[in-house]
Amino acid sequence: MIQPLHACLILSSLLFCIGLAGVLARHNTILMLIGVELMLNAANVNFIAFWRYGAWAGQSAGVMFAIFSIAVAAAEIAVGLALVILIFRHVRTTSIDRVDGMKG
């Protein structure tokens, strides 16, 4: 019978792979940011899973990690979206391939 931790890890792995595939396959910047979020959340699932089934489940360090990570992700997405919007305003596209003005 499959153990709960393993199930969580499989879930987070799937989540990570989906996020990664999203980042690699999509050209739309916003969708790529969503992929990144998925990958971050896969990490969060891991944090929670290891905390819940680990040796120190009574302490709140694991949750703190997850909350911290979510906060960082929120900040990141705020900055990232702002950048994307600014880029969109500038070049009228969100496709990552078109934004190559800084390439040497």
Partner 1 sequence: MISKTWETLLVVKLLWIIPAIPMLAAGVLALTPRGYRRMAASLAIGSMVLAFLFSCLAFYATMIPLPYSEAWRQSYNVPWFDIGHETVRVGWVLDPLSALMLAMVTFVGTCIFVFSTGYMAEDENFTRFFGFLTLFAGAMLGLIISNSLLLLFICWELVGLASYLLIGFWFHKPSAAAAAKKAFMTTRIGDLGLLIGMVWLYSETGTLLFYDGGFGCLETKALIGLVTPAISGGTLAVTGIALLIFCGAIGKSGQFPLHVWLPDAMEGPTPVSALIHAATMVAAGVFLVGRMLPLMGADMILFSGSSPTLYIVAMVGSFTALFAALIAVAQTDIKRILAYSTVSQLGYMMMAIGVGGYPAAIFHLLTHAFFKALLFLGSGSVIHGCHHEQDIRRMGGIAGSMKITFATYAVGMMALSGVPFFFSGFWSKEAILHAALTWTPSMLPFIFGLCGAFLTAFYMTRMMGYVFFGNYRGDSCHAPHESPATMTVPLVILAVFAVLLGFAGTSFWPWCQSYLTAQRVRFGWEEFLHAWPLTGGSIAMVAAGIGLGWKLYISRPVGGADAPDILETMHPKIYNCLKNKFFVDEFYAATWVRWCGAFASVSDWMERFVWGGMMRGAAFFTACLALLNSETDERVVNGSFDGGCKVLKASSGKLSLFQNGKAQRYLCVIGAAFALLLLALEMGVKL
Which residue ranges make up the site for partner 1 (CB under 8 A)? Answer: 20, 23-24, 27, 32, 96-97, 100, 102-104
Q: What is the DSSP string of 6-52?
A: HHHHHHHHHHHHHHHHHHHH--BHHHHHHHHHHHHHHHHHHHHHHHH
Closer to partner 1 by CB, 36 or 51: give it: 36
CB of 99 to partner 1, least distance (A): 9
Closer to partner 1 by CB, 58 or 104: give it: 104
CB of 32 to partner 1, least distance (A): 8
Q: Which residues contact 73 (CB under 8 A, 6 or more apart)?
A: 37, 40, 41
CB of 60 to partner 1, least distance (A): 31
